Structure 1
Amino acid sequence: MSKIAFIAPDKQLFLQGKEIIQQLGLEHKFDLYLARLNRGIRLAKKLQNEDVDVIVSRGGTAQLIIESKVKIPVVEIPITGQDLAQVFHESKRLTGLPHPKVAILAYRNMVNDIEVLSKILAIELVIYPLKTVEDIPAKIAEVVATNANIVVGGIKTVLLAAEKGLQTHLIRSGDFSIRSAFLEAQKIALGRKFEKERSQEFKALVDYSLEGIISINQERVIKVFNRAAERLLNRSAKEMLGKRIDSLLNFINVETCLIEGQQSIGQVIQLGAIWITFNIAPIIVDQSIIGAIITFQDVTRIQEMELRIRNEVIARKFVAKYNFSDILGVSPQIIESKRIAQEMSSINATVLISGESGTGKELFAQSIHNASPRKNGPFVAINCAALPQNLLESELFGYVEGAFTGATKKGKPGLFEMAHRGTIFLDEISEMDKYGQSRLLRVLQEKQVMRLGDDKYIPVDIRIIAATNKNLLELIKEGHFRQDLFYRLKVLTITLPSLRNRRTDVKYLAQHFLHHYQRKYLKHLEITPSGYDYLANYFWPGNVRELKFFIERLVVIANEKTITEIVLQKYWDDRESAPELANDTVEVPLLSEEDRIICALTQYNSNITQTARSLGMDRSTLYRKLKNYRIEVKKTY
């Protein structure tokens, strides 16, 4: 809470101020003291170490406190013209003279415009200026040697003059002056409170920053030296504060910064066994450079933090980054597959995705997760074929301390635990061994897991999406896959079409990959219609993945700007011959006119002009066919 100290030089002002403070309802904000002149200075210096924001005083006491350089704002109770008029009126009354000779002993802050006022009121005035309290006795002696009728001044002046037998009158302040000073002090205290809060926030930021921070003024004197700077530079703040930076840290050149305001970022220097990187920036106030700030960091620590964060992200940050909009294609087959998958997204049931290698099974799995109510949960993907069988179980279900030789002391949670409230994607589920299959079946049935070496179950809330590029029914017949697990997985199923079964997508996908890799490698190629036909007639055993990587290779190595069928054959030396009898190969019948219009509309986002051009017809013909086939045109963006 803000505190205001009222230092009254006399008892009458003390009581007068106390009453006004009560009238204003500010008792909880004021501390009242009775002290004048030198005692007032000693008191003000003591209050510097206490929770005081403002000092209110009057006359010589206020003047002396200000001149003593006390680090607390001082609000003076002014001696107003009304107060001086009252003094002159009382001087006439006390002396009984219409034009008394008045001697006033005053500090310079007490006698503004007093001479003008004395002439108006027909007072014969002599001013004896005071600089320090020690001046008062000598000035009283001067007054005694004159024929002054009355001496006017502060409490000490009045007391000493009375001892010399002189008639006296004490200068007093009116209630209005005192009230105005108190209200002004309250405003200043509030401003000081905000200033303290900002100062404490800044101090906390500086003290607890992991960066070393040094602040200097224009004279290169160190004003701030935080704890991190102490640790990094192996110097104490007590040793550094108040010293010139160039005399202690001569490897830091601040000349350019202080003179031209130029920043210096990322300088590196070796200090002992560690490497330090530091930055220098100017401190500018009202377009003037008043100093500079230097920040330090331990390069080794930065590298360690980067490695730890990277490992943490790899180990813990399970995020699905693909959505249905990332699955490209305009063929009826892929559009229908996306529609089915989107319907599955909202259902919290196990999904089994079948399809050849390269058809986008994980892409569909991530899209289903991101379109599901579990989208804010983790997406944990594991390739069952990529881990040895002896590690697959421990990775999926985790283990406790001592479960096997080499197990970490604290144990390790499995991927099922990490996928809690999210989705776990088991790719190539057909490669899981029989024991792992039985454990997985237990998870599906009980919704709980048991770590290796443990005797208790851990409940988990997960959705399982499994994928396979093999025929699981054939594996069941051969005894390699559990039938009961198959039917547990086969709740929602989707079979992704191979690229040779959606040949109308080959050109669309090839154009997309071509544009992507041209931007990446800053090259420009153009595939001719015959080239696209050649690509479409290939049977693509690696599906979309194979097409993507071939287009990337083509962009990188081709010298020709125009890619024809002949050029494709030149760079496509690893293409395979289509099998004569492929059980899984289904020839795609020629599309009907209606299907060709729908595909073209999808490819060109329902742009009528582009669609008509691609179909080799004019706009009016296309509109007529749209009407005949009852095809509704909806633009997509």
Structure 2
Amino acid sequence: MSYKLAIVAPYPELSKIAQQVCHELEVEAVIAVGDLEEGVKAARKLIDDGAEVIISRGGTATAIAKQLDEPVMEIIVSPYDIIRAVARAKRYGDHIGVVGFRNIIYGSKSLEEVLDVKIEELEIKDEKDALYVIDKAKKDGIQVIVGDAVSVRYSKKLGLKSMLVTSGKESISMALREAQELVAVRRREKAIAEQFKAILDFTYEGIIATNAEGKISLVNPAAEKILGKPKTSLLNQPAGEVLPSLALKRVQEKGIPLLGELHRIGNQMVVHNLVPVITNHETTGIVITFQDAGHLQAVENKVRRELYLKGHVAQHTFDNIITCSSIMKNVIEQARQFAQAEAAVVITGETGTGKEMFAQSIHNNSARNDGPFVAVNCAAVPENLLESELFGYEEGAFTGARRGGKKGLFELAHNGTIFLDEIGELPLKLQARLLRVLQEKAIIRVGGDRVIPINVRIIAATHRNLEESVNKGTFRQDLYYRLNVLRVSLPPLRERKDDIP
């Protein structure tokens, strides 16, 4: 990943070392030279050119951080850097003034005994302080100034010996690594913020958030539309005054969500949720979500039209099968266990024993219960139409084919279950195609050449004796063994007289 890093070096020597480190680490960074205010100007231009983080040192880093909004990563001046500079300065005198911002010079005086010199910590808070502080130091008898680039520059003007505190490669390398990590974190945070904004802006739900004082801190466009008020008139307003009929105070005090409540706003009914924001066991705000009840009804009607009217949903569960018969109870328990598997199931039983009810119950009790349940009666569809119904067709496959083609029932059952009722009536030609679907887990539409992968569980049912059909040659033996992995045999009512009232 490429990071837009920039280095502002307070002195030319640091720029050269930084270039070496970037080359050795194979890190791309734009490098500029500038101390304090000049450094701020350089940083501002680098940010305008797209820099995501500025790397600098000492007073220049502090000045940039104060005046600009972009993050600044400081090249740390280590105690070793100070020790090395003071040791070099000792050659010019033993009364040494260490000049700089507090974050640079703190603790320097403790080096007196180690290096056998007298050290004064001379703090500056602004570039303008430097000349006055150094001039005063000269009058106080200080012989050598140790500090950053600006301190060295002013010392030379005043005729004082000076020694620059330089940074080593390790400090620059560390700053580069931390800058890369900082940019990565900021990018992730920005991506999350953009995702959050997209969710707020384009969700159908109105969303309002309050702070700990109960004032509105967030309003999304859907909330503006439902309330009929602009965001600017809602922000920082007490939520209890804007939405007086909502139980905001109760949720704030008890910290318990209130869900699915009906509330009238103007001439429309909305369904709203009040969810407390809990931080350290205290309610620090509330998130209010609401939807137009009319929109929810429209969505429900659409779902009903698309699913229920097409018959691609299983309505029955094992709880709907009422029996007093121990035989039937054992069958139900066996079917419950089969539901947890992914293998094909064959349900046998006489007409009227509830084969489709068991098929729907197996689907609803399986891991595929969120997927479609597609049922087809193989005996009820004419043979010349059954192939195109099961496997679909491409445009122009035959006279009267729909423009654009049509999905078959196997495609519609993708990630769900297909129920093949009266499987014993399936023509031999289609039995061969069904066998291939079971083997390849893919279909080819009629008139097409494209292989379409499918993920479907097959439940088949029949009132016939399939073993006899295999012996007669009316049902393929290989298909029989593919389908008959799990078998549920439903007893007729005459064998479970306990169910007769």
Shorter-chain TM-score: which interval?
Answer: 0.5 to 0.7
Contact 1:54 1:185 in 2 (8 A): yes
Q: 1:90 to 1:202 in 2, by over 3 A?
A: same
Determine what percentage of the aligned residue pairs are the same residue. Answer: 27
SS at structure 2 position matched to 1:151: strand
**Aligned with residue 374 of structure 2, among 374, 378, 389:** 378
Q: Deviations over 1:524-557 (max 9, x none)?
A: xxxxxxxxxxxxxxxxxxxxxxx4xxx4xxxxxx
Counterparts of 2:21 and 2:56 in 1: how far apart (Å)?
A: 14
SS at structure 2 position matched to 1:378: strand
Q: Residue 56 of structure 2 aligns to which amino acid in structure 1? A: S
1:32 aligns to what? 31
TM-score between both structures, scaled by the size of structure 2: 0.64
Return the offset for 1:83.
1.2
Q: Residue 298 of structure 2 aligns to which amino acid in structure 1? A: E
**Aligned with residue 79 of structure 1, among 45, 55, 77:** 77
Q: 1:119 to 1:244 in 2, by over 3 A?
A: farther
2:236 aligns to what? 243
Contact 1:278 1:296 in 2 (8 A): yes
- Aligned ranges for residues 428-577 of structure 1 at < 5 Å? 502=494, 504-507=495-498, 510=499, 547=500, 551=501
Return the offset for 1:379.
0.8
1:450 aligns to what? none
Q: Deviations over 1:8-34 (max 9, x none)?
A: 222221221121122222x23x33333
- Aligned ranges for residues 288-307 of structure 1 at < 5 Å? 288-307=282-301
Counterparts of 2:18 and 2:198 in 1: how far apart (Å)?
A: 38
SS at structure 2 position matched to 1:70: coil
1:155 aligns to what? 149
Q: 1:272 to 1:497 in 2, by over 3 A?
A: closer
Q: Residue 182 of structure 1 aligns to which amino acid in structure 2? A: L
Q: Residue 122 of structure 2 aligns to which amino acid in structure 1? A: Y
Counterparts of 1:280 and 1:367 in 2: how far apart (Å)?
A: 36
Whether 2:13 is the aligned partner of 1:12: answer yes
Q: 1:190 to 1:315 in 2, by over 3 A?
A: same
SS at structure 1 position matched to 2:89: helix
**Aligned with residue 261 of structure 1, among 248, 255, 261:** 255
2:268 aligns to what? 274
2:334 aligns to what? none
Return the offset for 1:48.
6.8
2:117 aligns to what? 123
Q: Which has the larger radius of gyration?
A: 1
Contact 1:379 1:419 in 2 (8 A): no
Return the offset for 1:221.
5.2
Q: 1:322 to 1:245 in 2, by over 3 A?
A: closer
Counterparts of 1:4 and 1:172 in 2: how far apart (Å)?
A: 21
Return the offset for 1:121.
1.6
Counterparts of 1:420 and 1:250 in 2: how far apart (Å)?
A: 46
Whether 2:60 is the aligned partner of 1:61: answer yes
Q: 1:416 to 1:261 in 2, by over 3 A?
A: closer
- Aligned ranges for residues 167-186 of structure 1 at < 5 Å? 167-186=161-180
Counterparts of 2:363 and 2:172 in 1: how far apart (Å)?
A: 73
Q: Residue 30 of structure 2 aligns to which amino acid in structure 1? A: D
Q: 1:142 to 1:284 in 2, by over 3 A?
A: same
SS at structure 2 position matched to 1:316: coil
Return the offset for 1:151.
2.6
Return the offset for 1:49.
7.5
Counterparts of 2:281 and 2:362 in 1: how far apart (Å)?
A: 56
Return the offset for 1:327.
11
Counterparts of 1:69 and 1:291 in 2: how far apart (Å)?
A: 32
**Aligned with residue 89 of structure 2, among 76, 88, 91:** 91
Q: Residue 202 of structure 2 aligns to which amino acid in structure 1? A: Y
Return the offset for 1:115.
0.5
1:309 aligns to what? 303
**Aligned with residue 200 of structure 2, among 191, 206, 230:** 206
Q: How many residues align?
A: 413
1:604 aligns to what? none
Q: 1:51 to 1:316 in 2, by over 3 A?
A: farther
1:617 aligns to what? none
Return the offset for 1:164.
3.0
Counterparts of 2:492 and 2:77 in 1: how far apart (Å)?
A: 98
SS at structure 2 position matched to 1:134: helix
Q: Residue 6 of structure 1 aligns to which amino acid in structure 2? A: I
Q: 1:466 to 1:179 in 2, by over 3 A?
A: closer
Contact 2:274 2:287 in 1 (8 A): yes
Counterparts of 2:164 and 2:55 in 1: how far apart (Å)?
A: 19
Q: Deviations over 1:58-116 (max 9, x none)?
A: 111122234447352x33222222211222222222x2x4x2x2233311001121001
1:23 aligns to what? 24
Return the offset for 1:253.
6.0
Aligned-residue Cα RMSD (Å) equals 5.3
1:113 aligns to what? 107
Q: Residue 150 of structure 1 aligns to which amino acid in structure 2? A: V
Counterparts of 1:257 and 1:376 in 2: how far apart (Å)?
A: 39
Return the offset for 1:191.
3.6
Counterparts of 1:290 and 1:280 in 2: how far apart (Å)?
A: 13
Q: 1:9 to 1:242 in 2, by over 3 A?
A: farther
Return the offset for 1:207.
3.3
Counterparts of 1:360 and 1:122 in 2: how far apart (Å)?
A: 101
Contact 2:216 2:239 in 1 (8 A): no
Counterparts of 1:169 and 1:111 in 2: how far apart (Å)?
A: 14
- Aligned ranges for residues 43-54 of structure 1 at < 5 Å? 54=53
Counterparts of 2:409 and 2:55 in 1: how far apart (Å)?
A: 70
Counterparts of 2:110 and 2:345 in 1: how far apart (Å)?
A: 94
Q: Residue 497 of structure 2 aligns to which amino acid in structure 1? A: V
Q: Residue 378 of structure 1 aligns to which amino acid in structure 2? A: V
Return the offset for 1:158.
2.2
Counterparts of 2:155 and 2:234 in 1: how far apart (Å)?
A: 50
Contact 2:33 2:42 in 1 (8 A): no
SS at structure 2 position matched to 1:36: coil
SS at structure 1 position matched to 2:288: strand
Q: Residue 60 of structure 1 aligns to which amino acid in structure 2? A: G
SS at structure 1 position matched to 2:24: helix
